[in-house]
Amino acid sequence: MRYISHVMKTPEILSPAGNMEHLETAILYGADAVYLGVRGETNLRAGARNFSFEELARGVAYAHACGVSVYLTLNTYPHDAQLKGLPPIIRHARDTGVDAVIVSDIGVLSLVRELAPNMPIHLSTQANTVNSRAVQAWADLGVSRIILARELSCEEIRNMKSRAPLELEIFVHGSVCISISGRCLISSYLCSRDANQGRCTQPCRWDYALVERTRQGRYMPVEEEDGYTFLYNSKDLCLLPVMGKVMALGLSGLKIEGRNRTSLYIATTVQTYRKARDAYLKDPEGFFVRPEWMDELGKVSNREYFTGFFLGSPDEQGINYDFTGYVHTHHLAAKVLKTGEGKTVFEARNPIIEGMEAQWLSSAGPVRDFVFHDMIVEGSRKTRIRPNEVFEMKTGFVPLPGELIRKPLSEGDKVAVREACTS
């Protein structure tokens, strides 16, 4: 079987969705498609909350009502005992109208073809597709889209696209493994938790020191920071600086990594790449990357950015040798629940203090600064709001339900982040 697709003029912005709130946030801020997993050992983000069968059906219905596609990840490499749990999931995906499943293993692909013959199949980046011959072979097996390996340059992708009889997709943003597109055995070796079963402990992010075999407990002086060396800690992928080259490839999907990330991360990255894509489509010749777009991506958690293999094989500049781990300037303050009668009802996600500066992350307009003031909880004015507490406040703007409020990190917040990254 060979699947021949039309060339998409508008590549999808694909967002991760670790739970229902993430799905709703991604759609609100402009995603064309979301990818998600069900609970269990069937996808490579077992640590995410993921979806129950009931939630999957509800999520698909909600996304389709908004004109958004849903892709279900079944991208582990299951052993025989784990294969037994897949048929109910595949049938449920088929019956609820999931738009495609993402697979890595050829046995899982075969099972999907058998149980849901009309279901489009996307091949995961975990399958490590790095040449045109492999693209053709997967097309012959019924794959309709391939998410290419991350170890490819722009020229290699362009060459593969010119020959591809199916849709191609690449990752444009998010974490990068020190491995071949995520196929790693370090976690399994050190922690008996298999990354290829969705249980990675991220040992590539740990701080290491050398010890000579006969001198136990005596560390060799090869430190980068505070006596430790980060040997494998890759920076995060960000192709926004080369978005013009990305768009010129004519790909079908531009994918953001991060099913374990926050709603604020999803809203910020989806909206930023959506703006860049739409600006290119409006005026390809005059397109340029606006400084404020890169500034937005710096506000969410990251390990510093690089362009991966897109411009050629990365050197040591692709490794983050800094012990601080994640960096960002803002975090989520609150989520909008509803508006009316000149007031906005919020749900706090972090502590809020009267007089605190914040920003409304509009899904349809520019970011707007404001200050928390006159906050009301059950009829009483409060100067301090606890996480998860619902409060209302008069605002000079009218946000939409589901939109997010962020606030700059305080010095205390930054210390807490550094401690969390090094603990």
Q: What is the pLDDT of residues 48-81, one digit of tens each?
A: 578 999 999 999 999 999 999 999 999 989 999 9
Q: Which of 147, 134, 165 is nearest to 71 (CA)?
A: 147
* Between 93 and 220, residue with greater pLDDT: 93
Q: What is the largest CA-CA distance in the chain?
A: 74
Tell me whether strands 253-256 and 404-408 are parallel, antiparallel or unpaired.
Answer: unpaired
Lowest model confidence (mean pLDDT) among 56-60, 406-410, 412-416: 412-416
Dig out the tokens for 281 from the structure: 């489509």
pLDDT band at 287 (very low <50, low <70, confident <90, very high): very high
- The pLDDT tens digits of the residues spanning 226-278 come to 545 565 677 899 999 999 999 999 999 999 998 889 999 999 999 999 999 99
Q: What's the pTM?
A: 0.85
pLDDT over threshold 50, residue 208: yes
CB atoms within 10 A of CB 183: 16
Average pLDDT for 14-32: 97
Task: Say whether pLDDT at 140 is over 60.
Answer: yes
Query: To the nearest whole number, what is the mean pLDDT of the chain?
Result: 86
* Whole-angstrom distance, CA of residue 88 vs CA of residue 94: 10
- pLDDT value for 39: 83
Residue that wins the pLDDT comparison between 118 and 421: 118
The least confident of 203-217, 344-358, 408-422 is: 408-422
**Domain coordinates of the chain in residue numbers?**
12-179+234-318, 330-422
What CATH class is the domain 330-422? mainly beta
User: In the predicted model, is pLDDT for residue 91 greater than 90?
Assistant: yes
Q: How confident is the model at residue 203, as a pLDDT?
A: 66
Q: What gap in Å lies between CA 27 and CA 25, rounded to an integer?
A: 5
pLDDT of 338 > 60? The answer is yes
Per CATH, domain 12-179+234-318 is 3.20.20.70: yes
More confident residue, 327 or 96: 96
For the purposes of burial, counting CB atoms within 10 Å of the CB of 201, is it exposed (0-12), middle (13-18) or buried (19 or more)?
A: middle
C-alpha to C-alpha distances, 70 to 34, 58, 104, 239, nearest whole angstrom: 5, 11, 18, 23
Report the pLDDT value the prediction gives residue 418, as an integer from 0 to 100. Answer: 43
The one-letter code for the residue type at 103 is V
* Same fold? 12-179+234-318, 330-422: no
